Amino acid sequence: MYKIIKTLLASVLLAVSVGANANLISVELDNTSYSVGDNIVANIYFSDIEQDSFGQIALAAFEFDLSFDDSLIAFDSILFGDGLDLGINGSEQNFSQIGSILTVEEVSWEFSGLEAIQAPSFLLASVSFTALQVGEELLSITPQIFSDMGGSSGVFDVIDVSNRSVIVTGGPVSVPEPTALSLFACGLMLLVGRISRR
């Protein structure tokens, strides 16, 4: 009896795990490393959107927190993607920063046609920072709200996150002073020395 229950439970768990499909939020950086003063662009993508019996499920609203070390990098600006901005009504796009946490949110006001403009992977937002000092920092995303056109967040309840590290390796390159001035000064001293010997 115990063996039958164990086998049945294992079968149910296997069926549930096969049916689960995780969506992915990923951070992609425009470079692998930066210098102090460089502009850093972090592109936030949403991918692996599930299909239901009617077709692709469209993402109609999202909110996530992006955490960063504000002593290493400074937030500059944000540009939203066009995956939720459709039709006459478009979408409402907001962001706010409290310390080292940037909250990003968008809600589409068009409910039909979103699935047509949302590829299997599409851009939610591009966030720009400035590198302040040398170091390494993890840009970390915490999903808050991801819902479909009906307002249901249950269809996007399994969300994997792929974070990225920002590496700032050094300061701006210093330009060496021209050596011609040093050579001119040495030549002038030699000339003055020869004239004074005469």
Closest CA to 164 of 183, 135, 141, 132: 141
pTM above 0.85, yes or no: no
CA distance 25 to 11: 30
The CATH number, out of the four listed (2.60.120.260, 2.60.40.680, 3.30.420.40, 2.30.40.10), of the domain defined by the range 20-197: 2.60.40.680
Identity of residue 145: I
Spell out the domain ranges in the chain.
20-197
198 residues of the chain, pLDDT tens digit each = 444 443 433 443 333 333 345 678 889 999 988 999 999 999 999 887 766 556 667 788 899 999 999 999 999 999 998 888 777 778 899 999 999 999 999 998 876 777 777 777 889 999 999 999 999 989 999 999 888 876 666 667 667 888 888 888 876 555 556 666 676 677 777 777 777 776
CA distance 29 to 34: 11
